[in-house]
Structure 1
């Protein structure tokens, strides 16, 4: 009898704990935090099963002040999460921003397109362009392509949460536009007339200009631009020749060179600071020096071996304080002999894929902070070493399941 009473008490305690967790989850689902600083999502198709279901790996970066994950959801039927991993990528030394990467592996009964939408959050307060509720969406296109015979893969890119510029110094941010299928990649401003979930502001800040080739240029004529600006962009891939997309039920759709295949949300903050004493690169604004890779370099890594990317910057009148980066999960950063080293040991799950890594050098002079140019590289994962040996790298030989299930059930 005493044992039965104990069991009953344990069951009651478990019930109370479950209720507390459910209430906590509900508050997480319904509350809108005001730390949103941007996002980017990319995807790779993994396998088409014999029963016509498709497994795809979706990676999305979440930018916030305190490492909050800005989740997406899939409103279309048949979009199921089968595994989930969240890792902090990088955060600055003064906790002004943090970036996490979440990796979802999902299986859908068909290869029909999936529209992923951002859960409702609020942009960080006090943006110059008065951004409020954050909206973002990504179209995951998985139908088979007639030109490759495989499901479409999205462009591979990434962004930092915040890009710093001085209001008196024109600058340029070149986004990475690598496409695994060899498609032509173009960027545009987010437009709610195309999809109501693409954006909240839906207008590019007046101090920015965007080219179709995904170059974002900054220019300002006065200090009134000082502050944080929310930036909402879309990246799309276009076939280089006419082709056909085929669904698992046999339905087909033609795509010309002017028709986008997939679309990705790219959102970040532009931080415009006070005037720099000089806009000459290498004075206050840091510049990269060897052995730092060049923008859009292709670097080759080997499964289970540690890849190391060496980055070095200098400035005459300011002090290099950090290198900020965005890359794949589990990439780490360390400083050694005046250089910053990004290290990553890809797993077998990354074999055959290309991953975006972007970085800037940050320098300080008094209370002012300055960023270098924005550089990105593509890291390709192979099972054999690069025979050329010309890359500027060196090689050397969770959420709990219960929490995920409860979150999906109640959210």
Structure 2
């Protein structure tokens, strides 16, 4: 091999191994069974965050009978230049039975972080067995996340993740564990405390200009003892202590320099009316338009008419006056009879653009119904 060829190979290896992964989240929804109930169609929706829009990856079967991937649509839905690119993937699989299966995605290069996470892995456990309480297949919790959230180093901040379950189950969060192969380096961020109710608390630190890799698992638990029926008629009992499905929530937490005041509405944008409350459940019909108005204020920083958004890719974002945004969404037939998550953060900056200030994470769940 010539010297020039060797240098080219090394350069390609370096660029491939550059720190670039910004996390992922996946949810699923069973759509229909065949006439004899022997095959099931399940739609899996996921987000992937990378440093560049040229980066991508795919989910593969990890365990169980994952069936056949019938279609996959990937769309870039938001990009913040120089930081990250966010994409939505919609995967449709036809599985031969309602037995458990797991999907996995993995790679080598988390973004550079303080908790020593290098290689990355995420796992989704799909539970499709028929529930005795709903007489339908189990559905996963619904949530989403931005590739990166930012907090000032000197402020106590709470991050309440959206944790909505369409079956009415109790939803809990925990850190990923190596023994379940849910991550490859399952090191917890030292600056975060996690409650089972999916609330993260950032504790002030002397460090700034650094990032942490956050690798969580969200699970649904029945509120009463139920039976799950397999395609072959076998019954399995689940109690409120037994998790049904699990989905990954992985993202980067970036720590910014100290802010003069931690009170929201001064430097950090504060959400005001008519912004929906965090965790609100909204409703819309297929082919009808849902409008969400978001308003944020900050008296000592400038809101840049930039709303960072994680949502279905056909949500349209517009900015009216400073600090006010309008989201418009007309769900299509493929999005009907599902619950979809929309999360957003408002970005503000100092007058000279040298400092960035981010609002809290705010999320809503939208139930899309067919026909009116």
How far apart are 1:44 and its partner, in Å?
Answer: 0.3
Alignment pair present for 1:343 and 2:331: no
- Alignment partners' CA distance in 2, 1:284 and 1:112: 51
1:128 is aligned to 114
Cα distance in 2 for partners of 1:87, 1:242 equals 40
1:41 equivalent to 2:29? Answer: no
Q: For the Cα contact (< 8 Å) 1:38–1:63, is it kept in 2?
A: yes
1:79 touches 1:114 (CA, 8 Å); kept in 2?
no
Decide which of 70, 88, 96 is 2:83's aligned counterpart: 96
Number of the residue aligned with 1:271: 254
Greater Rg over alpha carbons, structure:
1
TM-score, normalised by the number of residues in structure 1: 0.82
User: Once the 2 structures are TM-superposed, how far is the Cα of residue 79 of structure 1 from its aligned partner?
Assistant: 2.1
Give the superposition deviation at 1:376.
0.6
Matches within 5 A, 1:250-329: 250-321=233-304, 322-329=306-313
* 1:362 equivalent in alignment to 2:350: no
Deviant stretches of 4+, over 4 Å: none
Q: Which moved more, 1:342-351 or 1:263-272?
A: 342-351
Question: How far is the alpha carbon of 1:384 from its aligned partner?
Answer: 5.4
CA distance in 2, matches of 1:36, 1:228: 12
TM-superposition CA deviations, 1:334-356 (whole Å, max 9, x none): 21233212221101222222111
Looking at structure 2, the residues matched to 36 and 217 of structure 1 have their Cα atoms a distance apart, in angstroms, of: 23
1:234 CA displacement: 0.5
Contact kept in structure 2, 1:87 and 1:330, CA below 8 Å: no
Match for residue 142 of structure 1 among 104, 117, 128: 128
Q: How far did residue 77 of structure 1 move? A: 3.7
Structure 2: stretches of 5+ with no match in the other structure: 1-11
Question: 2:317 maps to what in 1?
Answer: 333
Which blocks of at least 5 consecutive residues in structure 1 are unaligned? 1-26, 386-411
CA contact (8 A) 1:36 1:70 kept: no
Alpha-carbon distance, 1:111 to partner: 0.8
Q: CA deviation at 1:312?
A: 1.5
> TM-score, normalization: structure 2?
0.91
* Alignment correspondent of 1:74: 61
Q: Does 1:57 align with 2:43?
A: yes
Give the Cα separation in 1 of the matches to 2:348 and 2:48. Answer: 24
What is the distance in 2 between the residues matched to 1:237 and 1:152?
Answer: 10
| Bigger share in strand | 2
Residue matched to 2:204: 220
Conserved? CA contact 1:73–1:119, under 8 Å: no
C-alpha deviation, 1:379, in angstroms? 1.1
Write out per-residue CA displacement over residues 169-207 of structure 1, whole angstroms, 9 at most, x where no aligned residue.
1101100110000000000011112x12x0123232110
The number of equivalent residue pairs is 352
In structure 1, C-alpha distance between the alignment counterparts of 2:58 and 2:106, rounded to whole Å: 6
Is 1:378 matched with 2:365?
yes
Matches of 1:244 and 1:32 in 2, distance apart? 46
| Aligned-residue CA RMSD (Å) | 1.7
